[in-house]
Structure 1
């Protein structure tokens, strides 16, 4: 399983941003990341300087959204939907996208559920509960 460090993730997004801005060839994963970077122009300054990105503290106490975590969640959700894992996530995603009339807003709704699932898993010391995640998504979609 791929388990990048915080620094690896930050370097990936900074390099993807650089390549995207320079109109260089992107890998398939970089292409997906670049699409989400383009959806979030408010994060552009965070991606311009890799050294600053590596040093920056995005703790909750600082009151600033962590753009690297945010975009990582977009990538996670995109992958989940593509492979329909956990089972049922694609149907929930489609229902949310329809309800919100926006793929982007559907992703943001899903992030809340994904974050809750991860938080519960960490808090309880248990594996992530995919069934609870899907149930949460379906409730938000009104299903």
Structure 2
């Protein structure tokens, strides 16, 4: 996963024009879940690929949306298999769907950025263990 200018431009296009092809169904859904980011995508004075104060929280909107995409696709595709199991477990436990995604995104994001900093491969088995512990 790369968080580059091409991805940012694609998110901006989808935020501005919506889903025209069906390929961006997940992205449209995620953008709908985060109306607090709406004004950021096409404001030339703001760089949504950098951490920003949004409400009371410091967040990188582009990274947040990208992590949503990764985890949503894992759940839908069942790869890794623990992703769908963890999601269903969290929802059955009483988490709302969005909060369940955020918990899973926390696991994935921490391990992903740790592997990038160390120039290591992403550790799927550690990720599976973290998901199982949710």
TM-score by length of 1: 0.78
1:11 aligns with 2:9: yes
Larger relative strand fraction: 2
Residue 64 of structure 1 aligns to a residue whose secondary structure is strand
Q: Alignment length, in residue pairs? A: 131
Deviation, structure 1 residue 94 = 1.1
The structure with the largest alpha-carbon Rg is 1
TM-score by length of 2: 0.83
Question: Structure 2 regions of 5+ residues with no counterpart?
Answer: none
Partners of 2:101 and 2:67 lie apart in 1 by 9
Larger relative helix fraction: 1
Question: 2:67–2:105: 8 Å Cα contact kept in structure 1?
Answer: yes
Residue 108 of structure 1 aligns to a residue whose secondary structure is helix
- Give the alignment's Cα RMSD to 1 decimal: 2.4
Partners of 2:61 and 2:113 lie apart in 1 by 18
Match of 2:58 in 1: 64
Partners of 1:71 and 1:91 lie apart in 2 by 22
